[in-house]
Structure 1
C-alpha cells in the first residue's frame, strides 16, 4: 500500500490548511450542472474543520493558460459549493499576493475559503518554485484531495507537498486504497475489462495489464483490431488495421505471462449506426462485408459471466459495444449487472473508472453497486498504465 499521511496523521489545530480539490465541474450559463465532484470533497473539508484547521481551497477551472479569463473564474462555483457544505464560503479574488494574504489572515475557525483559479497564473502549470512558495506562504499545512489532477506535476498538486506538512484528503485516500486493492495487492484471480474505440490510445494500458491480471477482456472497437490481427474479417467495422502487429505483440506477451485474453466469440452487426437499427447476431467470423460490429453477442456475455464469477477482483475501463445507442448496449449492461451482483454478494472487489465507463455503468443502473467508481479520468488511466503520478509521489515523499 502506498505510504502517505492522511488527515488523521496531521496536526491541524489552528492552522490554515491549503486544500487542493477538483472543482473542474460542468457549468452552463453560470450554473453548475453536475455537482458530483463538489459533493465528493465535503468529507475532507468537514474533517479538516473537525481537527481544528481552516480549509482554504485551491483548484483550477478550465484552461486559461496563465491568463485571467473571467468566464473561467471559480466565483461561479461558490453557490454550489455553499449548498454542498451547508455554510457560506469566502471567495478570494486571487490565489497569491496581498489580496490572498489579507483574506486568509481574516479567516476564523469554522470558516472555509475558496481562492481564485490557480491556472490564472502561468507558474501553476509550470510547477514554478516561486509561485509554489507564494501559495505555501498562505498556510501551515497542505492536503491534496484531487486524485484527478495527480497525474499533473503542477505547483498546487506537486510542489506544495514538498513545502508544507502534507497529507491526503478523504477522496484521495479512498481512491488510492481502492486502486491498491485492484492492482497493487489484489485478491486473485484478477480480471480487467478494457473497451473503447482505439488500441492506439490504450496501448500502454494493455501492455501493463497483461503483466498484472489473470484475465483481460477486450471490447468495443478495440476488439475488432484484435480480430483483424487474428485474420478474422470485420466488414466495415471500426478497426485500426495498422495496429494489427501491435495487437499480435500484446497477444504474444499475454501468452508468455499466462494472462488469458477474452475476445468476442459472437457479434451483433448492423448496416447503420443508429438507435434501433436492424441488427443480427452472428458467429465472430461471419461479419458481412457491408456490415459493422456494434456489440458483443450473448455467447460472449455468457463466457464473460462465467470467467468473472471465478474472479475475486475486477477493474473496468471502457464499454464492450456502442453502449450509447439501443440495442448495442446489451453486452455492456449484462456484464455490468453481473459485476454488480457479484460485488453486492461480497464475492468481487470491483473498481471502475474513465468517463465512458462511468456513463455506461450509470446507464446500466449499477454504478452504485460497484466497490469503487473513480471519477478521475486521465489520472485513473495513467495509474492503470503503471505510470508514476507526481501528485501521489509527492505525498509519499512527504511521509518519508
Structure 2
C-alpha cells in the first residue's frame, strides 16, 4: 500500500520541482531570461507558487547555485574519497568534478553566470570550495606531504585551485550553453603536475629580481580618442556604478556628455555597445600588462611580471573585473571570444617558452591547462582582493609572494 504523502512531502516536492526547473531554464536561457513565468511553466506550477516558497524572484535565483553546490559536494564525498596521498586526492577530485559536470550539463553556466546574477550566492559557494581545498592542504602539511605555508599563503593557494577547474572546464568545453564541458582525463594529471612542481622544474630557471613599483602607473595611461572611445569609456563608468542591468543608452550618453543620437551614430544598439565593451577594456588591460612583461627573460619571470602588471592595472581600473563578469551574462558571445582570445595568447607564449627549453615536463597538449590556471588565478584573486565599490587597493604582498612560489616550486615538500 502506497504511503499517503504528507503536506510536508508535497511542499518539498514543489520546492524541488521549482529548483530543477530553474536550473534547466538558466542553463538554456541564462539568468536574465529566467522569468518567473518561464520557470513555473517548466515546473508545471502556478506563478504564485514560486513566491510562496522563495518570497521573490531574486531570492529564488539565489537558491540555485547553493542547491547544486551541495549536490556537487555530496558527489565528491561519495566518489573522491581520501586516500591519504594529497596529490592523488587532488587528481581524483579533479576527475570527479569533471564527471559531475558531464552529467549535470547545466551546472557550469549556473555557476559562471551567478557571479553577476547572484553574487552573494556565488561568493558563498566559492568560499565553501576554497575551504575544502584549504582543509586538504592543512592535512597534507601536517603529514609532511606538501611544504608548510603561512596561513595567508595557504588561503591564496586554495583560492587559485578553487577557481582553476572551472576555468579549465570553460576552456575545454567552450562557454557553457547546456553542453557537456568535456574535460579530458589527462588534464587531471597536468593540473596535479603543476600544483606539485610549478612550471620551473626540470629546467635551468635563474632567479630574478623585479620590483613592481618601478613600473607601477596605477591604471591605464590616458588615451586620446574620438567620440566612439568617449562613449565606451562612459559605458565603463556607468556599468561600474550600476551594473549592466541598470545601464541605459541615456545614462551612457549623459556620462559621455553627448546626445543619444551620437551614440546611435557609432553603435546600432545598446547591445552592440555592450558587445564591444569587453574588447575595449581588454585592449586597455593588455597594453598595460605588456609594459610590465617587457624584458622578461624566462616564462617564470614573464608570468610573475604579468601578474603584477594586471593587478597594478586594477588598482585604479577595478571596473575591468565587473565588466568581464557581467559580460558573461549580458554579452555572452563576446565573453566567449574574450575568454578564448586570452587563452590563445597565453598558449602562444607558452609554446615559445617550451621551444626555448622551458616547460620540459609538459607536453604541447597540456599547455592550455596551464593557460586556464593562470587566467583563473588573476580572475579569482581579483574578485577576492579588488574592492567592488571601485576603491583603490593594492594587492597584498603575501598574495604576489604566494603566487610566485607556487609558479616556481609548486607545493611538493621536497621543492
- TM-score, normalised relative to structure 2: 0.27
Between Structure 1 and Structure 2, the one with more helix by share is 2
The answer to which structure, 1 or 2, has the higher relative contact order (CA under 8 A, 6+ apart) is 2
